[in-house]
């Protein structure tokens, strides 16, 4: 699965780190390939934002990797492209080579029943805001990743 946001320095590396942490906790590491990318290219090569890294570290979650831009090839390499917000999903739909690829695009928060019930499916962009925004991202992506993992679990070996 590929987590996708705009810059690949705040939300999607956070979602990737949270999912890696959950997989490790459950002894499921290696069972699912996870990565993250951005629809934009401005931060390519950059490490995750230190505000995101710091907030995650306080919860025992390590953020890794260097930002990269999503490409059409990612629709072949991954079964699921998880957009952080509806703009990211729209941009992925534009990039998708065909309808089969387009069907791989989902909003991450679709996997959080509370978010679905509230009709709040975006993970808000924390980049221009304060520290609260980064805590919010961690809360939202953790709930959604837990829901996603619960849905996938019956298909995993252990």
Q: Which residues contact 77 (CB under 8 A, 6 or more apart)?
A: 2
Per rule CB under 6 A, is residue 11 in the interface with ligand 4NP? yes
Interacting residues of 87 by C-beta distance below 8 A, sequence separation 6+: 6
Cβ atoms < 10 Å from Cβ of 29: 13
Q: Using an 8 Å Cβ cutoff, are 81 and 75 in contact? A: yes
Please confirm, yes or no, whether 59 is among the known catalytic residues: no
Count of residues that bind ligand 4NP according to CB under 6 A: 11
Q: Is 92 in the site for ligand 4NP (CB under 6 A)?
A: no
Q: Interface with ligand 4NP by CB under 6 A: which range of 4-12, 15-23, 99-107, 109-117?
A: 4-12
CB closer to ligand 4NP, 7 vs 147: 7
122 is catalytic: no
Applying CB under 6 A, does 42 fall inside the site for ligand 4NP? Answer: yes
- How far, in Å, CA of 34 to CA of 29, rounded? 10
- Which one is catalytic: 35, 85, 122, 125? 125
With contacts defined by CB under 6 A, name the span among 8-16, 25-33, 53-61, 107-115 that binds ligand 4NP.
8-16
Could you tell me if 63 and 30 are in contact, meaning their C-beta atoms sit under 8 angstroms apart?
no
Which range of residues in 5-13, 55-63, 74-82, 95-103 is near ligand 4NP by CB under 6 A?
5-13
Does 6 help bind ligand 4NP (rule: CB under 6 A)?
yes
Please indicate whether residue 11 is annotated as part of the active site: yes
- d(C-alpha 17, C-alpha 26), whole Å: 14
Identified catalytic residue from 10, 11, 85, 122:
11
Backbone angles phi, psi at 82, to 5 degrees: -105, 105
- What residues are paired with 106 via a beta bridge? 82
- Which residues contribute to the site for ligand 4NP (CB under 6 A)? 5-11, 42-43, 125, 127
User: Which positions are catalytic?
Assistant: 5, 11, 125
């Amino acid at each position: 699965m590929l987590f996708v946001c705009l810059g690949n320095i705040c939300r999607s590396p956070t979602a990737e780190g949270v999912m890696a942490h959950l997989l490790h906790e459950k002894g499921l590491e290696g069972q699912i390939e996870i990565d993250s990318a951005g629809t934009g290219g401005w931060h390519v090569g950059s490490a995750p934002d230190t505000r995101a890294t710091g907030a995650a570290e306080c919860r025992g979650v390590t953020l890794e990797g260097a930002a990269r831009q999503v490409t059409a090839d990612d629709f072949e390499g991954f079964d699921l492209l998880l957009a952080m917000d509806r703009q990211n999903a729209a941009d992925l739909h534009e990039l998708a080579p065909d309808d089969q690829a387009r069907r791989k695009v989902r909003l991450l928060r679709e996997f959080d029943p509370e978010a679905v019930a509230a009709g709040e499916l975006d993970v808000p962009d924390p980049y221009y805001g304060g520290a609260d925004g980064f805590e919010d991202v961690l809360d939202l992506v953790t709930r959604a990743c837990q829901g996603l993992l619960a849905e996938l679990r019956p298909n995993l070996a252990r």
